[in-house]
Amino acid sequence: MSESHEKKYETAMFAGGCFWCMVSPFDVLEGIIEVKSGYSYGHVENPTYADVKSQTSGHYEVIQIIYDSEVIDYNKLLQAYWRQVDPTDEGGQFQDRGPSYRTAIFYTTKEQREKALASKKAMEEAKRFPGPIVTPILKAEKFYAAEEYHQDYYKKSPREYKLDRAVSGRDEFIKKYWGEEYYDIYK
């Protein structure tokens, strides 16, 4: 006699600048089912990349993560998130400027909200960065998947992805503020 066990996956959503650079660091974590690039928190229904890039739709570029919470805890996702962004920059991330490139943690449950607030407080108390942490913790709103060519961009267009990432300044920032500690969550 065997019982049917249906897994219940959870959803997390983060904004950290260009979504191309946010997918791969999460994609490699054990327990991640899917990472999708998309848009959220704006006022235009069914936005396109052109709408969001124009900085007039109000949307953030985001990643939506479906994960198995029995394998990976939300706190580990938060650790990975903080290591990808400059949480002190209100104007965007690295070479990408404007409201659609700001940072944000979007919670989908009360528990996620509590963990996100606690992780932000810990980041503030650690004083790792020279300025205040400005990343907001916001209630998740509707997620719109980005166009297909944006999905898994680092796999589909590895050369272009590496070039974009190389000139963005993201990797230099990560190395400066996280160094070898960056890799701790990937072990």
The residues annotated with a catalytic role in the active site are 18
**CB atoms inside a 10 Å sphere around CB 96:** 21
In angstroms, the CA 30 to CA 40 distance is 25
Task: Give the DSSP per-residue string, 119-181.
Answer: HHHHHHHHT-SSS-----EEE---EEEPPGGGTTHHHHSHHHHHHHHHHHSHHHHHHHHHGGG
Tell me if 24 sits within 8 A of 154, measured CB to CB. yes
Closest CA to 17 of 184, 108, 109, 135: 135
